[in-house]
Structures are given as C-alpha cells and as structure tokens.
C-alpha cells in the first residue's frame, strides 16, 4: 500500500519536473541562484568568524555543520513535499476540492503534489557540504538527524498552513512564522539566553531543527537525541491533527471563503 503511495508521488514528481524543464532557463537560474545565495552566506560567516573570537563557543566549523543540516533537510522538504508551504493558499482558493474527490489521503496528497525546485539548490549544496565536512562514521547519525529536521520543517509548515481553516487572512501570519523558523535556524544558536532559548526550542523550533543536531554531531548525547525524536513525534501529531480538525470544519461547509 505504501508502495502505491510512492508511485503516485513519483508520478507527481515527474510532472513537476516536466513542467519546470519547460522553462529550462528559469529552472537553471533558480537552482544556481539558490546555490550562490547559500555560498554567499557561508562566505559571510567565514569573514565573521575570522574576524571575531567571541561567539559563545560557535566557530566556522559549527556553522558549516549547521548549513549542512538545514540545507539538506529543508531541501528534502522542498523537493519531495513541495506543496507544504502552499497549504494556506490551497485552502483559501478552494483547491482542496480537487483532492477531496480523489482516493488518496488528503494531507499526504496535498504535500506531494508539487515539487519546489528552488529547494534543489539547497539540497545539492547541503549534500556536498555533508560529504566534505562530515566524517563517514557519523553518516548514519547525520541521516537520522536530517530526517528528523525535515519532518519538523514540514510539520511546522502544516501547522501554520492549517491556520487558514480557522482564521481569515492567515497567510501573512503563517508566512512570517515560517520565515521566522528559517531565520532562527540559520544563525548560530549559542547566542541566545534564558527565555529566548525556550522560544527557539518549543515555539519556533529552530533549536530542534538545527541547533541540537549540530550539537549531536559534535558530541553525541543519547538523551538529547531522544528529546529530539520525541519533539518531532509530538509536533507531527499536533500538526496533522490540526489539519484534519480544520478539514472537518471545512467539509461542514461553514464558509470562510467562497467555494464555487
């Protein structure tokens, strides 16, 4: 049964790729500009860490590990589950009905039905960084961590996207929350103190997405790994439940939006 689901995903993947390659120049430019963007950031951090010594223990190597983790996990989300950031607009524009008439699990169908090729650059660069800077012996741990991060990213997107079931005009809020997660995850995480630390662990889970994985890659700690796995599971359950609760509301037809 799961195999059949993957076959559907593969088909959508093929379609997304075909559509993108139709505009070949655009496709290449998008991928290249993403890679350039990421490289610019790496150079930026190179300059910063070269110049400054005080960074609460973070150094350039940590920063590269961070990038390897978030680029790969974010890239996976984008390439394979590309519609995760479009949940709000799909709900608002009445496009859910397409999915509701087809015999597939709704949430899954929604997120796999598009590939976001902007993320391909991230994914490629992330993998390159991983190959270059992560020792082979840590590869299984790395793979586990990026799977967890990817799930957290996707679940967070599902959570924020589902707000559209409950609130009017939620798109800006969702979008800001998502960008907030990416922003917090892309800066060294040792710089926060006290209350902020709690914020970035549980509210905008940048801590679990990149901070803790980097720590775990440096010094393995089974307890923190368990915490991360636990958090991932809880977040996923909450996000998926919220979506289906909202879906029920949507199907009861209390019209927040016009449905033709």
User: Which residues lie near another protein (CB under 8 A)?
Assistant: 4, 7-8, 10-12, 14-15, 18-19, 22-23, 25-26, 29-30, 33, 36-37, 40, 44, 47-48, 51-52, 54-56, 97-98, 100-105, 109, 169, 171-173, 175-176, 179-180, 183-184, 187-188, 190-193, 196, 248, 251-256, 260
Token pair belonging to 247: 């879906």
Q: Which is nearer to another protein, 22 or 135 (CB)?
A: 22
**Shortest distance, CB of residue 173 to another protein, whole angstroms?**
7
Extended strands (E) in the chain? none
Under the phi-then-psi rule, with left for phi > 0, alpha for psi from -120 to 50, and beta for the rest, what region is 63? alpha
**Shortest distance, CB of residue 190 to another protein, whole angstroms?**
7
Per the CB < 8 A criterion, the answer to whether 112 and 87 are in contact is no
Distance (Å) of CA 15 to CA 46, 113, 119: 39, 9, 17
User: Residue 24: helix, strand or coil by DSSP?
Assistant: helix
Q: Which is nearer to another protein, 151 or 247 (CB)?
A: 247
* CA pair distance 82, 86, nearest whole angstrom: 8
Q: Which is nearer to another protein, 108 or 144 (CB)?
A: 108
**Shortest distance, CB of residue 19 to another protein, whole angstroms?**
5
**Shortest distance, CB of residue 73 to another protein, whole angstroms?**
20
Distance (Å) of CA 233 to CA 60, 155, 156, 241: 31, 10, 12, 12
Q: Which is nearer to another protein, 223 or 252 (CB)?
A: 252
**Shortest distance, CB of residue 144 to another protein, whole angstroms?**
28
Q: Which is nearer to another protein, 38 or 142 (CB)?
A: 38
Per the CB < 8 A criterion, the answer to whether 74 and 219 are in contact is no
């Amino acid at each position: 049964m799961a195999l059949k689901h993957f076959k559907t995903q593969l088909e959508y993947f093929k379609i997304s790729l075909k559509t993108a390659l139709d505009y070949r120049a655009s496709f290449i430019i998008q991928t290249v500009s993403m890679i350039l963007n990421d490289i610019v950031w790496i150079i930026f951090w190179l300059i910063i860490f070269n110049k400054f010594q005080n960074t609460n223990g973070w150094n350039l190597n940590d920063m590269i590990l961070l990038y390897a983790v978030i680029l790969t996990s974010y890239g996976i989300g984008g390439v394979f589950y590309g519609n995760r950031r479009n949940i709000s607009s799909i709900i608002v524009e009445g496009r859910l009905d397409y999915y509701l008439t087809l015999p597939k699990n709704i949430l899954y169908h929604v997120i796999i039905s598009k590939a976001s090729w902007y993320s391909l650059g991230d994914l490629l660069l992330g993998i390159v960084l991983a190959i270059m800077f992560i020792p082979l012996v840590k590869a299984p741990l790395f793979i586990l961590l990026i799977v967890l991060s990817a799930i957290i990213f996707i679940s967070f997107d599902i959570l924020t996207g589902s707000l559209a079931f409950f609130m009017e005009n939620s798109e800006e809020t969702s979008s800001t929350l998502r960008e907030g997660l990416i922003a917090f995850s892309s800066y060294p995480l040792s710089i926060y103190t006290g209350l902020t630390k709690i914020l970035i662990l549980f509210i905008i889970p940048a801590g679990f997405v990149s901070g803790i994985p980097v720590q775990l890659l440096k010094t393995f700690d089974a307890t923190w790994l368990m915490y991360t796995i636990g958090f991932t599971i809880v977040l996923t359950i909450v996000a998926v439940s919220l979506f289906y609760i909202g879906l029920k509301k949507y199907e009861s037809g209390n019209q927040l939006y016009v449905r033709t």
